[in-house]
Structures are given as structure tokens and as C-alpha cells.
Amino acid sequence: MALLELDNVTKIFGGLVAVDSLSISIEKGMIYGIIGPNGAGKTTVFNCITGVYKPEKGKIIFKGKDITGLSPHRIANMGITRTFQTIRLFNEMSVAENIMSGRHFKSRQKWWHGIMHTPFYYKDEKENWLKVKEYMDLFGLTHLAKMTAGSQPYGIQRKIEMARALATEPELLILDEPAAGLNDKERLELVDTIKKIRDMGVTILLIEHNMDLVMNITEYISVLNFGKKIAEGKPEEIQNNPVVIEAYLGKEEEDE
Amino acid sequence: MNTKNILSYGVFFAILIILPFFLNSDWVSVMTTFLIYSVVSLSQDIVLGRAGMFDMGHAIFFGLGAYSTAILNMVYGWPILATVPIAIILPIIASILLAAPIIHLRGDYLLVTTIGFNIVFTQALKNNVFGITGGPNGIFGVEPLKILGFTFSSQLSIYYLAFFILLLTLVVIHNLETSKPGRALHYLNLDSLASECIGINTRFYRLYAFGLSAALAGLAGVVFTLQFSAVSPDAFNFIQSVLFFTIVLVGGPSSIPGVLLGTFFMFVVPEMFRQFAEARYLVFGVAMILIMIWRPKGIWPVKFGRIPNYLTKE
């Protein structure tokens, strides 16, 4: 059984069909890529999966359960977390506090611990801060723990966002253009990080414009154009698919 | 909390404890009201500063607490101590009922809606609903609080009662800001969508902020009733809500010392210049404008980075 399955998902904005009967199936443990030209509806697909948008038609099945139309926090708590194309951190807060937000659901504190601290509170608080430290060590952010997240350079902010998403201990991690705005060195680091995350047993779904990165890292790709899936397959198959070259790669070559 | 913080709070509390011995009774009364208003402002800060919701009807919850005590005591003859749980629970229920349908509204819409609630609240009190609120003049002659044979009738005893309530509030807020629910409020305030997508039930925590802040405001209301042995609608009108709202913004949202300073600046300082009558408000208004221009995050802005030391040590 696939970990995540989209069955004829359709999302319409006014008269515009942003996603048109899209069906994809993601197996556990793989790195799955969605590519396509600008405006092809890739981010809309992500927003449908994470509950930010409710699709008009179709079903989204995660681990055999129908999650279509659930609120984002419930979907997150079932094991799907994401990063954003435009980084969305809690800018005024410290790096450690940002990653701690990912521990929200795993932390077992109840509402009354916000009023009264019990021995359980101290145990739980320490456990989760130590988890935060683990993720900071993993991403090499420990020396920045107390620094304000918003004042960090772009590459670091991307890492913080991934650490935060990973701190929720998801089964499926969704990355929306993780390489956008990164330089070559940072991009190489990113490839390592993504592989490291996959080796931790997390399935990864990503949108990416950088072709080198997509071809290098993903195991399976779906290509979208105008909300429709026009091709799918292994990276090497996609690279040689004439439909894809026409819709996407061909255009880019003309530009250059 | 580090040693520097503990020391500064120690000094602050010590000053508040010995202060009444250097003041005449008028000023002890002003300082008692300062303590009560500090509690209300700190509770307003939970909703406005921490959770970032523009609630300009906070006097409702303060008033509900005050009126609960006054009505239960004067109309139904309850002893004051017995009214305290009601004066806390009733504002909680009211805040959740009022907030639940409007909590998804964006800042400005929420602001207008809460102002509307506040106006309805004061009008209801003035029109003597159910014949128990005493109309425009309110309720007079509320009994003093009695605990274990001790009667809180002197101004000094009420001052220390208010001081105790402030201490209690500070403990609650310290616990809040170092816990999962308290952090969740900051997260949803700074980025609601990102919070949802990492699994925070933003709706629940918004209501939580309203409930907790209403509880503290209601408790402050009890002490307010005891301070004046009376309640009247004008003490809880929309203008009072504006005062609490402004205190938080001028002092520093989410910052405990900021809100305390804000209360001092907005309430005690005008009292000091009473001899200038209305003219003082001119200076005061200008000062508010200048603070917002020069220190848009308040007199004492909040500092994040409240993380345990073992995170940064190797």
C-alpha cells in the first residue's frame, strides 16, 4: 500500500482549474519529485495535501485513511509536515524556539501546564528541549540556538525550517522548492541533508525548479502542466520524454 | 530565569512591600488600583501581546468579575470568599462564548466586534438587567472580605491583597511563557499558517488565551470591588478597555516588565500630576505618540530566546 495516494484530486479557483484530476501514488521511503513550469499547480497540490486548501473533487489517502479536507493541524499530527516556498519562520523568536515549535504535538503537556508546573512538566520540557538539541546538531545550528531566526542568512533559514518540520517526527516531509535562493555550496549541502533525512526513514515529496537537483536526488517524478499530469517515471525516463521536453525543459533551453 | 531577573523581581517586590509605609492613604489607594490594573493589563497582554488578537473589550471580563462579587454579595447575601470562584468562572464562560464565533476574524474585524460587545455590556449594566445590576449608579456597600476571622477592611490590607493577586498573576504568566501552551500562543501570533502546518490547533489556543486572560481579569475585578466597596458601569466601559489596550502597546507586548511599566506610566503618572488637571493629558497624549514613534515595540520590548542553558553548552 502506498504511503500517500492522490485520487483524481481537482482544485478550482473561480473559473481556473489549478489542479485537474491529479492521481499520484507515493511509496514509503522514496524521494518523490513534482516538477513543472511556473503556474503548473505544484504548490496548490501541496496545499491540498496539507489541508491548507480543500479540493473540490477527489480523495487524498494517507496510510489508508482519507484525509481530504481535514484541517492542517490534524494532517500535521497524522505525520505530514511541510516547508514553504517563501520561508515561514517565527522571525522574532530564537532558532531553538523555532525548532521547539515542531515538538508541539509530541510534547505531552496539557493546557493546565500553562498555568501550573507539575513534576511531569519539568520531565516533558527537558525531553523536548533535548530533542531540539538533537535536530540542531543534525543541521549544524547549535551555535545559533539563541540567535533570532529572522536575522539569519537565507541558507540557514531553510535549514531551520527543515529542522522544525523534522522535529515533528513526520512520516512524510513535503519540501516546497528547498533549493530556491541557495548558492552552489548550500545546494550541495541540501542534497546531503535530504538524503540523510530519507535515511532516517522519512518519505520525501519535493517540488523543485533546479533540474540538476531533481534529477540527482529523486527516485520518481511526476510532471505537471496546467494542473494536469503530463508524464511520470524515473528521472532518466523523464529527461528523455519528448512531451516533458516540449512543456518544460525545452522552454528553459530556449531561454538560455 | 537567570540570577539577574530573580534579583530585579526581588527588588521590585521589596519596593511594593515597603511602599505603603511611605505613602499617605490617598496614595496607598492609588497604588492599590495600580496593582489591580497591572493584573488586568497582564491578562490583556495574554490575548493582545502573546496571542496577537485585537481584543478591545477586555473591561467586560474585569467588569464581570467585579459585578459577580457585588451582586452575589449584595443581592444574594453570599460571603465574599464564596463569590470568588464564580467571579473567575463566569468571565471564562463569557469570554469563550463571545470569542468562539469571532476568533477566526482578522485583527481589525475582531477589534470592532469586541468594541461592540463592550458597549452592549455597559448598556446592559446601566439598564439594570434582571433588576440586579443597580442601573447607572451601580451597587454600593459591598461587604469586606473575611478570611479565617480576619476582615480586609483597611486600605492597607486591601493593598496587600492586591499585591498577593499580582504575585499570583506573575507566577501564572511565568508558567505560561515557559510552557507548551504559552509558546503556542507566540507561534500562532507570528505565523498562523506555519503553526497549523506543524500541528498546532490554533483555534483551541486562541480560545485558551481568551479563557485564561478572562479568568485573571475576573479575579482582578473581585479586588476592584473590595477596594471601592462598590461597582459602577463606567469603570468597565469601552474607554477602560482602550486604556488596557494602550498600556500593553505602550509598555511592550508579551513583556512582563513592559506591561508593568506601561501600567505605571498610563495610570500612576497621570495621578502624580493631578494639580495640572486636564492639561496633564496633553503632555500625556504627546508622550504616547512619541513612545510609539521611537519605541514601536514598547518601552520595554519583549526578548525571546528563553531556552534552557544546557542547549548551548557542549
Closest residue to A90, CB basis, from B190, B208, B311: B190
Chain B residue numbers with beta carbons less than 8 Å from the beta carbon of A72 are 193, 196-197
A68–chain B nearest CA distance, Å: 15
Q: Do A115 and B178 touch (CB under 8 A)?
A: no
Residues 84-143 of A with CB under 8 A from B: 84, 88-94, 96-97, 100-102, 104-105, 107, 109, 111, 113-117, 121, 125-126, 129-130, 132-133, 136, 142
Residue B139 belongs to a domain: yes
Residue B13 belongs to a domain: no
Tally A–B CB contacts below 8 A. Answer: 130
Q: Is the pLDDT of residue A249 over 60?
A: no
Q: What angle do CA B120, B173, B302 make, to 5 degrees?
A: 95
Residue B180 belongs to a domain: yes
B175–chain A nearest CA distance, Å: 6
Q: SS3 of B62, please?
A: helix
Domain count, chain B: 1
Closest residue to A114, CB basis, from B181, B198, B312: B181
Render pLDDT for B107-146 as a digit per residue (tens, 0 to 9).
889 999 999 999 999 999 999 888 888 889 999 989 999 8
Q: How confident is the model at residue A253 (pLDDT cuts 50, 70, 90)?
A: very low
Chain B residue numbers with beta carbons less than 8 Å from the beta carbon of A133 are 310-311
Please tell me the distance from the alpha carbon of residue B80 to that of residue B140, in angstroms, as a whole number.
14
Residue B54 belongs to a domain: yes
Q: Count other C-beta atoms under 10 Å from residue B9's C-beta.
A: 16
Q: Do A117 and B179 touch (CB under 8 A)?
A: yes
Render pLDDT for A58-77 as a digit per residue (tens, 0 to 9).
999 999 999 999 999 999 99
- pLDDT at position B88: 97
Residue B225 belongs to a domain: yes
Residue B165 belongs to a domain: yes
Chain A residue numbers with beta carbons less than 8 Å from the beta carbon of B187 are 90, 101, 104
Residue B244 belongs to a domain: no
- Asked if B74 and B142 count as a contact pair (C-beta separation under 8 A), the reply is yes
All structural domains of chain A with their residue ranges: 4-79+170-255, 86-152
Closest residue to A109, CB basis, from B179, B307, B310: B179
Closest residue to B190, CB basis, from A91, A105, A117: A91
- pLDDT at position A256: 43
- Alpha helices for chain A (secondary structure H): 42-49, 72-78, 95-101, 119-139, 154-167, 184-199, 211-217, 235-239, 242-244, 250-255
Render pLDDT for B13-45 as a digit per residue (tens, 0 to 9).
999 999 999 988 889 999 999 999 999 999 999
Residue B38: domain span: 23-237
CATH superfamily name and code, A4-79+170-255: P-loop containing nucleotide triphosphate hydrolases (3.40.50.300)
Please tell me the distance from the alpha carbon of residue B27 to that of residue B29, in angstroms, as a whole number.
5
DSSP result, B238-301: HHHHHHHHHHHHHH-TT-HHHHHHHHIIIIIHHHHTGGGGGGHHHHHHHHHHHHHHH-TT-SS-
